[in-house]
Structure 1
Amino acid sequence: MNSQKTPQNKLEDLRVNVKLKLAALWASVMFLIIYIDYFALYMPNMIKDILNGRVFVFDISPMFLSIALALVAIPALMIYFSVALPARANRAANIIVAAVNIPFMLFNLAGEAWMHMVFGATVEVILLFLIIYYAWKWPRVEL
């Protein structure tokens, strides 16, 4: 019997650029934002309230919808900006936008918060902290 062990092939593990990590994290945040809002439509009386022109305590109006779109557009655009901006601006933008978005994600728990909302907000906040961490620890080049 042959007691020698044959070497196993190692899997290739490429180093992923911080810009791609940030873009992937922002894409994940956006998926969660969309799905949490979508699943909220299944909550009792949510559709009725929307048909009556109310979301939470807000009247649905052109201004409300514009503000809501602006709040969602910023993290959506960060997917692109995380790849396209130069390093210094990219780092600052990711730290600032992620930090500003944390309270917005937690605000979604105001009022009646079901378990899917708590779980989603928790994951969103973890992802936003990861964005801040990766941007903060942006690799430096030796001069």
Structure 2
Amino acid sequence: MAATKDRRVVLSTLWIFVILNYAYADIFGLFFNPVLQKEEHAQLLSGNVAGIQITQGFVLVTAILMETAIAMVLLSRLLPHRANRWANIVVGVLHTALVIWSTTSGPVNVFYAFFVVIEAACTAFIVWYAWTWSRSSVVTAA
């Protein structure tokens, strides 16, 4: 049972680590970014940032994306092996791609690039770790 529990606990813990990095990157970006001038704050408050209209639908989509990472904390511990493995692979690939994509909208600050490297490396590791999780390593209770 230890092999199963350990792999599940590691995956769950990695998702917690990723979520904390997402949160801190966003907090730094909104409040501690010296590059973010009054004009950018005004755009954010107006609901239109870099040509993207910030609507309720847009915010809902981003909330759903963030919820997938939050849900993986729990699902990594509860899902059976096959579903667990594939959920971590699919959500990990999605989050890795989205984090990398987030750097394509314009100049990237050094602190944000730092977070992106950590987040992408962690979610890519989650994908690899889940991919290499063989059925033979899953020990069922007797």
TM-score, structure 1 normalization: 0.82
Aligned to 1:130: 125
Question: Which of the residues 41, 53, 56 maps onto 1:62?
Answer: 56
The alpha-carbon deviation at position 56 of structure 1 amounts to 3.5
Q: Which amino acid aligns with 1:114?
A: N
Q: Which has the higher contact order (CA 8 A, sep 6+)?
A: 2
Seen in structure 2, the aligned counterparts of structure 1 residues 25 and 56 have a Cα distance that, compared at 3 Å, is farther
Aligned to 2:23: 34
The structure with the larger Rg is 1
Alignment of 1:1-143 (within 5 A): 17-41=6-30, 42-43=32-33, 44-45=36-37, 46-110=40-104, 111-139=106-134, 140-141=136-137
- The answer (yes or no) to whether the contact 2:81–2:138 under 8 Å persists in 1 is no
In the alignment, the residues of structure 2 paired with residue 102 and residue 74 of structure 1 have an alpha-carbon distance, to the nearest angstrom, of 13
Gaps of 5+ in 2: none
In the alignment, the residues of structure 2 paired with residue 85 and residue 52 of structure 1 have an alpha-carbon distance, to the nearest angstrom, of 42
In the alignment, the residues of structure 1 paired with residue 128 and residue 44 of structure 2 have an alpha-carbon distance, to the nearest angstrom, of 38
The alpha-carbon deviation at position 141 of structure 1 amounts to 4.3
Aligned to 1:8: none
The runs of at least 4 aligned residues of structure 1 exceeding 4 Å deviation read: none
Q: Which amino acid aligns with 2:69?
A: P
Q: Identity over aligned residues, as a percent?
A: 26
The alpha-carbon deviation at position 142 of structure 1 amounts to 8.5
The alpha-carbon deviation at position 57 of structure 1 amounts to 2.8
TM-score, structure 2 normalization: 0.82
1:28-49 superposed Cα distances (whole Å, 9 cap, x missing partner): 1111111111111133234222
The alpha-carbon deviation at position 87 of structure 1 amounts to 0.8
In the alignment, the residues of structure 1 paired with residue 16 and residue 59 of structure 2 have an alpha-carbon distance, to the nearest angstrom, of 22
The alpha-carbon deviation at position 117 of structure 1 amounts to 0.9
Aligned-residue CA RMSD in angstroms? 2.1
Paired residues in the alignment total 130
The alpha-carbon deviation at position 101 of structure 1 amounts to 1.4
Gaps of 5+ in 1: 1-13
Seen in structure 2, the aligned counterparts of structure 1 residues 24 and 49 have a Cα distance that, compared at 3 Å, is same
